[in-house]
Amino acid sequence: MSDKVIDTNSITVVGKIISDKEFSHEMYGEGFYTFDLEVPRLSDYSDVLPITISERLLVNMDLTPGKSLVVEGQLRSYNRYIDGTNKLVLTIFARDAYVPETEEEINELLKRPNEIYLDGYICKVPIYRTTPFGREITDLLVAVNRPYNKSDYIPCIAWGRNARFCEKLQVGDHIRLWGRIQSRDYQKKTIEGEVINKVAFEVSISKLEFVREDNNREGKKQDL
């Protein structure tokens, strides 16, 4: 993986296709499609993740719901105008994808079904909080650069010791992180009082690194 973009934003997920592909958009004459992939966690729960794939990768590929699929690519974000406001939308952009040939291969791949690596910068003040059960959490928004002056803005969540560490991070700090992307169901109440079920996507951090030689703390006390 010598490509700089892949080095700063790389994800591999393994799961089961659970929706038919739908046409999403066309760019420079190339069509892109979307579908949902159910990716198991090591627990009994599964994450349902959105996949965006080029028509080039669909040649001779069977994307029938129920099929197992390996997707390698990047976690990307874009703004979509929804209900009068701009919403940050996340999708896994496939750079490669294939259907495992045997049950043995599938079972081996499912030992590590969801892995992501990001190299980016804190672009919003971290938010530290605790759950009603006392679990420590810090919410982060990480900007990951890609070519043509574009960036992906990735919501991330740190737990426990990592949460306490991330609470001290500042906007502009350079970090590298490893983890998995997860889906989270939640409810939102509209102005009319209607309760709507929604899904959020975020990266759950398992390991992170603060890049001391590239941050916004020059001349300041290094308290990390």
- Distance between terminal CA atoms of the chain? 31
Domain boundary among 114, 133, 168: 114
In the predicted model, what is the mean pLDDT of residues 191-209? 89
Please indicate, yes or no, if residue 179 is contained in any of the structural domains.
yes
The answer to the question of residue 87 being in a domain is: yes
Q: Would you say residue 163 lies in a domain?
A: yes
Q: How many domains does the chain have?
A: 2
Band the pLDDT of 218: cuts 50, 70, 90: low
Which of 42-46, 69-73, 78-82 is predicted with the least confidence, judged by mean pLDDT? 78-82
Quote the CA–CA distance of 93 and 123 in Å, as a whole number: 22
Strand partners, 94: 73
Q: Each residue of 37-67: pLDDT tens digit? A: 999 998 889 999 999 999 999 998 999 999 9
Of 162, 125, 159, which is closest to residue 142 (Cα–Cα)? Answer: 125
Given 84, 114, 144, which residue is the final one in a domain? Answer: 114
| Pair of tokens at residue 192 | 């009319």
| pLDDT of residue 89 exceeding 60 | yes
Domain range for 25:
4-114
Single residue among 114, 143, 176 that ends a domain in this structure: 114
Question: How far apart (Å, rounded) are the C-alpha atoms in residues 112 and 97?
Answer: 16
More confident residue, 212 or 152: 152
Q: Per-residue pLDDT tens for 107-152?
A: 999 999 999 999 999 999 999 999 889 999 999 999 999 988 899 9
